[in-house]
Structure 1
């Protein structure tokens, strides 16, 4: 139920001019939000970009249709019907629900699942012609994806009058009102669930479909939570509607009705009040101590990460590409420094050893000097001194509260929390250094920061493919969306 038809009985007709004005105000706020996002310069891979285009285009099309009605006869039956059935109130309700959320990701996003005799599982493509009779791919539309993907919001502007009309039309009755009470369970007077109501009432059926899609989808090893927002429905006044809401909740969904949205059910916060809340925090859930992979250790000392580097004929194409990326987005100030914050930083002995080998082999003078500071080779230097000296080796602003040095730890997996059986399968697929980094972080409950996308994806796929229970999760890994190599010494250069 993406948009609701005209209500029964119909609401008072709002003039076309007023609806056009409201649509323009809505489009204005969306444009303001897009400008806010652009000003944050956040990468799509960091969940900073919000999928707005389809939602905005729908509102734009509605606004154009309404504008045409401003010159039509306002008393004609066609005009009245068109104004009453406008989708604008639905779009306004969706935007209001979005502004009351956090970590906004997308609007109007479809999620797919596969129905088979063995159950449902997630799929990443639309229905294909090769489906068999035993397997059917289905999809459901989610109005708003929030909380970094972990919440799906479905909005309906259906009124109580229309809902009761639909329920009566479907022949659904409140069994708890029966005089003899023969259908009541346990004789406690509670209204039982309406068996099969998902096939009869669209809201309940929709809740069941969303539940199936959510069970077939995982975001960071977790299933999304479904939330219904029903701004024109109240609780505690109509037993039939209360039972309907109970049936929606029985699917696992949360339900917010108009009476619970605000004191009067209509207040919507101004964008400027909530804009920051709508940004996805890519560092939410980070552990207080971070486990730093070798790829990030190298990025932290690379000349490419600390200022403009002139192109040279000897540079590998990967180095050239990284120079171009650094011009577009500064790795340290835009990504790594915010990710690390003031948290304690550690790395395994294996990651440290490999990083040192590479620096000693090809590192420039400045890359070596940064390594000495990063790892705290001189224990007499306090953090403030290490940061000050590091600042002298960078063209960028290095945070004064950066928690140097990075402490080297033993990758004793047995000393951490017991890992699921899947960890053994993963360990067999990883190199020694990657075992030490990622399994240590997993066993220690630490967030691992890495730019090794291949290994991170391998681990995720193995966890999903071999999980023994629905609650089993893998390691907490934050993937830096781009890497930086060492510039490297020229051939035959000794320093």
Structure 2
């Protein structure tokens, strides 16, 4: 069942539960909805200001465009002499849009609104959109490609960091009874012990049940933090306890593993407030520790000429090197990275520092060696401010490097914490550490046992100091258990 079939055009609402607003009220409510979504957009821009991730600011755009389109249609029909305009007003999609927005207002840690996810077939489980690495959002692998538009389903609200999917339908009790009658289902007069198989067969052909089954199948094809998202059907105009037949349909959907939230179990939508907005979308910086554990990949990024200078493309450069230079030119890493580090105290393990030293001494340019020295080598004759100014002077991104940057990065030995923090290392963590190579093992070990946020670019990167082979396109924050975020 699509949103169109679940809208008032395909159902007869019960007056006892809802009263259709007149045209003036409909437009007033529509503009109130628009204002609230715009307030939500302002909140997104505020909490993600100066943050390195961009796309969460626009999680509302698809839904917002739907709202604007419906308002435009409503205003046009209200000024139209067409005799069908009254019907179009009464059958607008606003009840559905209001239901989606009310669902969002009851949700926490929203990832996306009205987001398309791949609907299969699935050769293996794919990554779902959501928070993968401690408050850092990932688009996952679920968004369909352009030529797969027919193989996608829109999830109305993706929340709880991606762990919960809400699909809204505004089907009514009366319409659901009509669908059941169409399939010749008379559950109330049937003996369950005699007709269980037949009832199941008929139930399977009901559009709402098909929607639930499809939602369950699609969710099982995705994974977020080692789990499949929990699919939930939101049915604000379905009321349990009024019809045995409808209650059995709802139970049937729940038994197949889909949560169902009906209208008489939903609290009234709360007024939009600052506190509510922070529940809907928390500040992504709220759990970043004041002290940051810096990975070797970040040390490399902070040192490389590719990050700090405009590198001239030579004829002998490979295509990947050329692409990396283009990406750095269009989306420089240093401003994003330094805005994250800013006033935080910075530490790194001695293994990470040694790894950087080997790289710059082997293949680094003079400028790269100078940056490495400023980043890591203590020198009591130089103040922090002087060190930062010298570091800024070696970069074309000088204005984006904050004067509050805490240099030098303090070098720590994680082994000194081993006895005190052994309880932090569960068996899965210890097994994971054995898989990791140095210096990554020391970096993540230090972050885990110290409870620090670890900053790493080590998802997709190549290293080639003194050449344009170096590029790090991603910044990832890790905290506590790396494998919580898969």
* TM bucket normalised to smaller: 0.5 to 0.7
Shift of 1:92: 1.3
2:105 pairs with one of 95, 99, 107: 99
> What is the aligned length?
417
Tell me the distance in 2 between the aligned counterparts of 1:193 and 1:445: 56
Would you say 1:269 and 2:271 are equivalent positions? yes
Look up the match of 2:60. 52
Look up the match of 2:89. 83
Tell me the secondary structure at the aligned position of residue 67 of structure 1: helix
Change (3 A) 1:206 1:399: farther
Look up the match of 1:451. 457
Would you say 1:223 and 2:228 are equivalent positions? yes
Q: Which runs of 5+ in 1 are unaligned?
A: 130-136, 186-191, 379-385, 457-472, 479-495
2:73 pairs with one of 51, 57, 65: 65
Tell me the distance in 2 between the aligned counterparts of 1:442 and 1:195: 50
Tell me the distance in 1 between the aligned counterparts of 2:34 and 2:224: 30
Tell me the distance in 2 between the aligned counterparts of 1:477 and 1:389: 39
Residues 295-304 or 139-148, more deviating: 295-304
Look up the match of 1:8. 12
Tell me the distance in 2 between the aligned counterparts of 1:231 and 1:285: 34
Tell me the distance in 2 between the aligned counterparts of 1:242 and 1:323: 59
Shift of 1:328: 9.0
8 Å CA contact 1:447–1:475 kept in 2: the answer is: no
Residues 295-304 or 364-373, more deviating: 295-304
Tell me the distance in 2 between the aligned counterparts of 1:256 and 1:243: 14
- The one-character-per-residue Cα deviations of 1:455-475 (angstroms, maximum 9, x if unpaired) are 79xxxxxxxxxxxxxxxx973
1:147 pairs with one of 160, 176, 199: 160
- The one-character-per-residue Cα deviations of 1:295-351 (angstroms, maximum 9, x if unpaired) are 22455788999xxx797999x997997698569945233x2459xx78x9663x432
Task: Name the structure with the higher helix share.
Answer: 2
Shift of 1:88: 0.9
2:281 pairs with one of 276, 279, 282: 279
Tell me the secondary structure at the aligned position of residue 235 of structure 1: coil
8 Å CA contact 1:104–1:279 kept in 2: the answer is: yes
Shift of 1:94: 0.8
Tell me the distance in 2 between the aligned counterparts of 1:418 and 1:88: 52
Tell me the distance in 2 between the aligned counterparts of 1:328 and 1:70: 53
Change (3 A) 1:423 1:196: farther
Look up the match of 2:250. 245
Alignment of 1:321-336 (within 5 A): 329-333=335-339, 335-336=340-341
8 Å CA contact 1:346–1:409 kept in 2: the answer is: no
Tell me the distance in 2 between the aligned counterparts of 1:359 and 1:16: 70
Tell me the secondary structure at the aligned position of residue 114 of structure 1: coil
Would you say 1:475 and 2:464 are equivalent positions? no
Look up the match of 1:488. none
Would you say 1:38 and 2:42 are equivalent positions? no
Tell me the secondary structure at the aligned position of residue 252 of structure 1: coil
Would you say 1:24 and 2:25 are equivalent positions? no
Shift of 1:183: 3.6
Change (3 A) 1:91 1:445: same
8 Å CA contact 2:374–2:408 kept in 1: the answer is: no
TM-score by length of 1: 0.65
Shift of 1:22: 2.2
Tell me the distance in 2 between the aligned counterparts of 1:442 and 1:174: 56
Tell me the distance in 2 between the aligned counterparts of 1:319 and 1:65: 46
2:297 pairs with one of 288, 295, 298: 295
Tell me the distance in 2 between the aligned counterparts of 1:285 and 1:277: 14
Tell me the secondary structure at the aligned position of residue 140 of structure 1: strand
Please give the root-mean-square deviation of Cα atoms over the aligned residues, in Å: 5.0
8 Å CA contact 1:157–1:230 kept in 2: the answer is: yes
Would you say 1:233 and 2:241 are equivalent positions? no
